[in-house]
Amino acid sequence: MEINSGIQASLSGRYAVALFDLARDAQSLDTVADSLAGLKQAIAQSPDFKGLINSPVLSRDAAGKTIAAVASSMGTDALTTKFLGVLAQNRRLSQLPAVIRAYETLLSNHKGEARAEVTSAHPLTETQIAALTQSLKARVGRTVTLDAKVDPAILGGLVVKIGSQMIDSSIRTRLNTLAQAMKG
């Protein structure tokens, strides 16, 4: 898989590849993906959890016990829980968001899908997501999984990233381009 070489270039990528390989061997790719999705949501919604994974003052043992308790309360599968323990022991919990992104990419490629990160100024409706998914599928020629984010700073429009491609139709970029053109 050629995607592995690019992902393995980063520390988080090496952890993601190791987790992916273990999950594949245990035939639990989707189970691990579900657990990681829950962790991703917890990172986004809980300042306390985000603080836990980024805390430099917690000892390895304290971080390991705390993350194990959090994983247990979230119903995280055994493999992901062990993996979190390894991250805590190696003082790499701060890498968790990047590991999750890399794992999602590996899983999508394994399934023959493409992942698209879509940023909009306002939350997209289900109809808009479906239309965008169909449009991107026609463009890349395979099933596309969307990871939607909201960033009011783009003012309007969309920023879509698929792999190394980026389609930026945001109003912020258009205004910046116009401002540069007017400076002459």
**Nearest Cα residue to 102 out of 157, 50, 36:** 36
Q: What is the mean pLDDT of residues 3-28?
A: 85
pLDDT number for residue 2:
47
For residues 91 and 137, the answer to whether their CB atoms sit within 8 Å is: no
Pairing of strands 165-168, 158-162: antiparallel
pLDDT band at 68 (very low <50, low <70, confident <90, very high): very high
Asked whether the predicted pLDDT for residue 43 surpasses 70, the reply is yes
Mean pLDDT, rounded, of the chain: 90
Say yes or no to pLDDT of 124 above 80. yes
Place of tokens 């809980």: 46
Q: How many CB atoms lie within 10 A of CB 65?
A: 14
Q: Which long-range contacts (CB under 8 A, 24 or more apart) does 134-141 make?
A: 136/160, 136/162, 140/114
DSSP 8-state secondary structure symbol assigned to residue 44:
H
3-state secondary structure of 116: strand
Strands (E), 14-143: 114-120
Give me the percent of the chain exceeding a pLDDT of 90.
65
Which residue carries 């993350």 as its tokens? Answer: 67
Tens of pLDDT, residue by residue over 131-171, are: 999 999 999 888 998 988 999 999 989 999 987 789 998 89
Rounded distance between C-alpha atoms, residue 179 and residue 184, angstroms: 9
Helix, strand and coil in the chain, % to nearest 5: 65, 10, 20
d(CA 29, CA 19): 9
Query: What is the model's pTM?
Result: 0.77
- Confidence band for 84, pLDDT divided at 50, 70 and 90: very high
